[in-house]
Amino acid sequence: MAKNIKSEVTVENPGQASAAVEEDDKDIKNQGSSLDKMLSILDIFTPERPICSTNDIIQFLGTSRSTGYRYIKSLHSVGLLGAVGNGYYVLGPRIIELDLQIRGYDPLLQACKGVLEELVETTGQSALLCTLYSNSVLCIRELRAPFSPEHLFSRGQKRSLFKGAMSKIILAHLPAHRYRSIYHRNSQVIAESNLGTTWKEFRDRLAQMRKEGIAVSHGEFLPGIVGVSAPIFNSENLILGSVGIACEESDLNDVGVKKATVVVKRAGREITRRIAATYQGIDLPPRAIG
């Protein structure tokens, strides 16, 4: 759009063209900022606060009341917010509709059909599928084994990149040029997560996980719970997510861990193969950048 404005007026008034381009860029930036602000309303809703008042939302936004009302009205009109009376809101029905679309047609979910079932049958333990999302790890499907432990990682939950097998195997396969900045921004939590107390230790731990193609964790989120995870890649060998199992540590001795490692790595390779075979020419990109 800026190019078109410039080409129409450059010959007669270069100064006017420059001002028009700058104003156009400013408008685009402001529109993007406003949209980001409006969509951030969805972040206020949590398990601890599933219902929010208009005043809660406006205070969260830090905007004028008129702007806050306008944002709320826009999200409500498209179904992303639902009114429950007396100025209170919940997440809207459109999100449920979108979730149905995701469950039925998301490429990663489609590629794992039957794989999680085989993991549960072969190992007797609960299986998990996770994806890289916004510099964290999001569980997008779990298949529970009978008598599985409570409070396992489940669909819709996010976790840190630095704790748990499902996260660590993804971290180990991020682009290498990101590691130094990741370390400097997160050195304390990296040390607490047994990923190294120095830059060299951190780099070496990730290299070891990449070489082994597997991550194993013990009680990093829940005491007594062990996780075993393998990476999932797109056709360009970029990390997409992870697949694995989680169970009580008493259910897996050393032999059990070795068997689980073989089966989980096979599951990761199979999902990767299906993605490459099904989405030729449409590479599924990693879901977290930055």
Q: Structurally, what CATH architecture does the domain formed by 106-278 represent?
A: 2-Layer Sandwich (3.30)
Domains 2-94 and 106-278 share a fold: no
pLDDT at 89 over 90: yes
pLDDT at 289 over 70: no
Q: What does the pLDDT look like over 221-278, one tens digit per residue?
A: 888 999 999 999 998 889 999 999 999 988 887 778 888 999 999 999 999 999 988 8
Question: Does the predicted model carry a pTM greater than 0.75?
Answer: yes
On whether the 2-94 domain is CATH 1.10.10.10, my answer is: yes
Largest CA distance in the chain: 80
List the domain boundaries for the chain: 2-94, 106-278
Q: What does the pLDDT look like over 160-185, one tens digit per residue?
A: 999 999 999 999 999 999 999 999 99
Q: For position 256, what pLDDT does the model report? A: 82
Higher pLDDT, 280 or 73: 73
